[in-house]
Amino acid sequence: MSIRSLEAWKACQKFAISIYRITESFPVTERYGITSQLRRVAVSTSSNIAEGYDKQLDEQQSDAGRLTWGLYRWAARGGRETH
């Protein structure tokens, strides 16, 4: 089984492409602000899944999964914190 066959990884890849397309229309003044943050999150979600998959240890996979889910939720809120 390959990382490319995991549904979560595929979803994160689509998410990253969407984020890059959406942020292309953001103001130039946001290039190093929210645009950069959202793009880094979009890329890191699939990277975290791949890292957890490669390590094959339940604890590490669980940590990567929690981090990925948290990053995904943060990006879905437009990079805003909720309190």
Judge whether 21 lies within some domain: yes
Residue 61 has a pLDDT of: 53
2 pLDDT band, cuts 50/70/90, is: confident
d(CA 9, CA 45): 8
Q: The domain containing residue 27 runs over which residues?
A: 3-76
Residue 18 maps to a domain: yes
DSSP codes of every residue in 6-50: -HHHHHHHHHHHHHHHHHTTS-GGGTTTHHHHHHHHHHHHHHHHH
Q: Is residue 83 part of a domain?
A: no
Residue 82 falls within a domain, yes or no?
no
Please count the structural domains in the chain.
1
Q: Is residue 26 part of a domain?
A: yes
- pLDDT at position 1 is 65
Give tens-digit pLDDT for 4-61.
Answer: 888 888 898 999 999 999 999 999 998 889 999 999 999 998 888 888 776 654 555 5
Section 52-78 average pLDDT:
68
